[in-house]
Amino acid sequence: MKQHKKMSLATKIFLSLAFGILFGLIANVFFPTTVNSGLSKWILSPLGDIFLRAIKMLVVPLVLCSLITGVASIGDVKKLGRVGVRTIIYYTLTTALAITLALGVASIIKPGIGTGVALSQVKESVETAEAPFIMDVFVNMIPTNPIEAMVNGDMLQIIVFAIIFGICITLIGEKVKPLLDIITEINEVLLKMIGIIMLAAPIGVFALISKVIMLQGASVLIPLLKYILTVALGLAIQCILVYGLALKVLGKVNPIKFYKKFWPVMLVACSTSSSNATIPINLETCEEKLGASKSIASFTIPLGATINMDGTAVMQGVAAIFIAQLVGADLTMNQMLMVVLTATLASIGTAGVPGAGAVMLSMVLQQIGLPLEGVALVLSVDRIVDMLRTTVNITGDAAATIIMSNMEKELDLSLYNSESKEVNNGVVI
């Protein structure tokens, strides 16, 4: 009897994404509004929210335990400092490069010219925010109450607490080895939970993507299609060319191998639109499929989800040019530099959750004197753009993890270069 080959989870997620987009388009065109509202309220929203909540349930405990275990396993405070400095410099440079790239692409394509869209038609009020003062960013990294930081999901404060905790375990040594063993075992349980939750990923991805397409519809997208395509082009260049080149030159690895194994994570990021929600599956994939050092991955990925927003930076650059062109303004070189500086700084203090890019954009527009009504206009298609930029955000985190692991000679190259599909927590990906 011929044995049928079992479909991998990655293939199931991809098919769910495709079917979700198709179903959303059909429902938007042919189903009455009342039917779409009912489907969203009673079926799609609950299924999507359950999947998202299940992943988010693990984010804080996994980041805490994984980071403590990783820092303690490094065993050398000097090495931790070296990895930390390299990672932060890398993240800052790639974010600044992403904004610069976006400004260049948008200046060539001119997404705001000939769209038929006018800011004068926009009446929505916009929630604004001021760019954070740089010293406040550093001060607010230190939690006054670590438990409160965990309850609120303040990732930067959790990261700082976990790093200090892990360093102290290293300094004390054998006395607290039983404590480290317990935290390591908890971390293993959490990784097993990820494997179980990911079995429901195809259902969650279908529900999340079909709801967006069903309710958004093509009528909203068409007037701003040039803007969306410009952002998508900038994101594609950042994701494929910039990260591919960085993996090849800095990481000294084959970037094609990276993308072949990482694309399932990109699909999950696309459907959830949340860097934080993707941390568990990102960690698991980098460690178990790409051979990254667990100690380094547990540091770079949570940190990247908090401060490394390359995809969001691309959107900021394109949106600034787009809005300037709508009002007939030409941005000067000084204003463009201000966009780069403001967006890079804002990305450090902005949470990795859906919609955070809109808050960052209001900061950028205020700094260069463009009308805030532009944020409301961009928000009309932000859910679609958010899916794309989150995908780039988390890909940048993973690429940095591979690069830093290989710089420290801790990348398992045999696992990275392997062609076979790995089995993680009992799940074939």
Token pair 């359950």 is at which residue?
50
- Mean pLDDT for the stretch of residues 11-29: 87
- Mean pLDDT for the stretch of residues 323-330: 83
- Cβ density class 159-174: b for 16+ within 10 Å, e for less: bbbbbebbbebbeeee
Sketch out the chain's domains with CATH numbers.
31-417 (1.10.3860.10)
Note the pLDDT of residue 219: 63
Instruction: Dump pLDDT digits (tens) for 47-67.
Output: 988 988 888 888 889 888 888
Asked if pLDDT for residue 172 goes beyond 70, the answer is yes
Instruction: Dump pLDDT digits (tens) for 391-402.
Output: 999 999 999 999
Looking at residue 386, its amino acid is D
Structural element, H or E, at residue 411: none
Whether the CA torsion 320, 241, 17, 197 is positive or negative: it is: negative
Note the pLDDT of residue 352: 46
Whether the CA torsion 368, 371, 376, 382 is positive or negative: it is: negative
DSSP calls for 79-128 = HHHHHHHHHHHHHHHHHHHHHHHHHHHHHHH-TTSSS---GGG-------
Residue that wins the pLDDT comparison between 73 and 165: 165
Q: What is the residue-averaged pLDDT of the chain?
A: 83
Structural element, H or E, at residue 264: helix 255-272
Most confident range (mean pLDDT) of 5-19, 130-144, 291-305 is 291-305
For the record, the structure tokens of 298 come out as 């547990």
Taking the whole predicted model, whether its pTM rises above 0.85 is answered as no
Asked if pLDDT for residue 6 goes beyond 80, the answer is no
Distance between CA atoms of residues 358 and 366, nearest Å: 13
Say how many residues make up the chain: 429
SS3 category, 21: helix
Looking at residue 75, its amino acid is G
Q: What angle do CA 419, 388, 267 make, to 5 degrees?
A: 35
Reported confidence tier of residue 137, pLDDT bands at 50, 70, 90 = low
Most confident range (mean pLDDT) of 19-33, 196-210, 242-256, 266-280 is 242-256
Note the pLDDT of residue 224: 81
Residue that wins the pLDDT comparison between 307 and 123: 307
Q: What percent of the chain has pLDDT over 90?
A: 30
- Mean pLDDT for the stretch of residues 258-279: 88
- Mean pLDDT for the stretch of residues 125-145: 68
Distance between CA atoms of residues 244 and 295, nearest Å: 23
